[in-house]
Amino acid sequence: MKLLIKSATIIDPSSPFHNKKQDLLIENGKVSKISKLIENPNKYKEIELENLHISQGWFDTSVCFGEPGFEERETIENGLNTAAKSGFTDVAVNANTYPVADNKSAIEFIKNKGNNSATFLHPIGSLTKNAKSEDLAELFDMQNSGAIAFSDYNKPIANANLLKIALQYVQNFDALVFSFPQDNSIAGDGLVNEQINSTKLGLKGIPSLAEEMQITRDLFLLEYTGGKLHIPTISTAKSVKLIKQAKKNGLNVTCSVAAHHLVLTDDELVSFDANTKVLPPLRTLKDVKALIKGVNDGVIDIITSDHNPIDVEHKKVEYSAAKFGTIGLESLFGALNKVLPLETLITCLTTKPKNRFGIKNISINEGEKANFTLFNPDSKAIFTKDCILSSSKNSVFLNKKMNGKVYGIIANNKVVL
């Protein structure tokens, strides 16, 4: 790959060129020169785009692709293409496949399917066998085969002793355990946030208490066992407080928030559109404000799309029968660029998640590999079905205003624009 990027504003606090508009010369997959003006006597291919900004490649820590088992929702090939065009050079893929990715062979299958893509695929192994929360899966073998963490996607570990044993066991090989923050004995068969809107609309509620009780339990377990815990997609104001205090107490805990929980509230439910049915559910404006503050204060470490394609047969049904989940890769940047400072958003998509998951940060500098996301932070648009690249179209952001446009990525010696 021989390429010249013209007039790009570099957003990378680790780079000596941070906040500077520069030309970048890329040869054989590496940045050979960065300068205010680079001539092109060899007539390399040039990339010159409106208001071009580049950052380190973005990493999404919670992505679902249907393959194997649910290819009608999304294949790995199309999912990785969608991720690349949405700005992601790395994605962590959840184990909610059929069969569940709970063993070495399943991890190797998923990883091999991602070979030769511009976007790097990092499998997450199921924490328990068949994600049934009964027995631990083959964690050590899966890590040796490429799993970067362990999670029963969107399924809480009801058995506290099982999570305790998991946190103790994985310390032998320094692995990261996820624990989904929901107590199902409290959540029951709830569909949406338990609040005024759920009462008005006659929809069964999931109280904030269900999330906060589970987080409290998990933090007590972590304090007892040690180890590394990640709490994905928190959604309430009190959850932020609980994790903030745990970090002050020295616990090795991180958390993430899904993009839709930073932007949308349960006021969206009035449409009875099943695309608004997500887990955890959309909460109140008070929660949204607390989550944004949590990101800005550094309590919340990671932002994810929580991309979860669901086929039309499981979304175009009555609300109670619809599956939880929304796609989010294509909309993440445009939705969040209007509620968070640009540098904060980029940090929560690059250095923070990569540090937690043990993925190397590649600074934008001469001599380093070309691993970039290309975007325009000032573009305005409406997110329509034409913007969706996923096989499934279940987006909670349909017809919402977007602030920012992603051009694509340069990674793995490939250009996807």
Is 386 part of a structural domain of the chain?
no
H or E stretch covering 24: strand 21-27
Query: Same domain for 89 and 209?
Result: yes
Q: What is the pLDDT of residue 392?
A: 97
Q: What is the pLDDT of residue 291?
A: 98
Is residue 122 within 8 A of residue 150, CB to CB? The reply is: no
Which residue type sits at 196? I
Q: What is the pLDDT of residue 33?
A: 97
Residue count of the chain:
417
Q: Is the pLDDT of residue 26 over 90?
A: yes
Strands 372-382, 401-411: parallel, antiparallel or unpaired by DSSP? Answer: antiparallel
Is 87 part of a structural domain of the chain?
yes
Name residues whose C-beta falls within 8 Å of residue 349's C-beta, 6 or more positions apart in sequence. 58, 59, 60, 303
Q: What is the pLDDT of residue 119?
A: 98
* CATH code of 192's domain: 3.20.20.140
Kindly state the tokens that stand for 316. 């175009």
Query: Same domain for 272 and 168?
Result: yes
Rounded distance, CA 377 to CA 333, Å? Answer: 9
Is 387 part of a structural domain of the chain?
no
Query: Same domain for 39 and 122?
Result: no
Q: Is the pLDDT of residue 1 over 90?
A: no
Query: Same domain for 218 and 312?
Result: yes
Rounded distance, CA 63 to CA 117, Å? Answer: 16
**Bridge partners (DSSP) listed for residue 403:** 380
Query: Same domain for 45 and 151?
Result: no
Q: In the structure, what pLDDT confidence band is assigned to residue 199 with cuts at 50, 70 and 90?
A: very high
Query: Same domain for 90 and 34?
Result: no
Q: In the structure, what pLDDT confidence band is assigned to residue 355 with cuts at 50, 70 and 90?
A: very high
With left for phi above 0 and alpha for psi between -120 and 50, is residue 69 left, alpha or beta?
left
Is 201 part of a structural domain of the chain?
yes
* pLDDT per residue as tens digits for the range 88-117: 999 999 999 999 999 999 999 999 999 999
Give the CA angle between residues 171, 177, 182 to the nearest 5°: 140
Give the CA angle between residues 127, 247, 178 to the nearest 5°: 10
Query: Same domain for 139 and 256?
Result: yes
Identified catalytic residue from 183, 266, 306, 311? 306
Strands 58-63, 88-93: parallel, antiparallel or unpaired by DSSP? Answer: parallel
* pLDDT per residue as tens digits for the range 375-394: 999 999 999 999 999 999 99
Query: Same domain for 182 and 315?
Result: yes
Domain that holds residue 301: 57-357
H-assigned helices in 68-183: 76-85, 104-113, 139-144, 160-169
* CATH code of 40's domain: 2.30.40.10
Q: Where are the beta strands (DSSP E) in 28-173?
A: 30-35, 45-47, 53-56, 58-63, 88-93, 120-123
For residue 202, count other CB atoms closer than 10 A to its CB. Answer: 6
Query: Same domain for 341 and 234?
Result: yes
Strands 192-193, 253-258: parallel, antiparallel or unpaired by DSSP? Answer: unpaired
Q: Is the pLDDT of residue 277 over 90?
A: yes
Query: Same domain for 311 and 371?
Result: no
- Is residue 306 among the annotated active site residues? yes
Q: Is the pLDDT of residue 191 over 90?
A: yes
Query: Same domain for 340 and 374?
Result: no
* pLDDT per residue as tens digits for the range 237-273: 999 999 999 999 999 999 999 999 999 999 999 999 9
Is 390 part of a structural domain of the chain?
no
Is 11 part of a structural domain of the chain?
yes
Smallest CA-to-CA distance from 230 within 181, 187, 186 is with 181
- Mean pLDDT across 345-364: 97
Is residue 8 within 8 A of residue 375, CB to CB? The reply is: no
Q: What is the pLDDT of residue 13?
A: 96
Is 393 part of a structural domain of the chain?
no
Query: Same domain for 407 and 345?
Result: no
Q: How many domains does the chain have?
A: 2
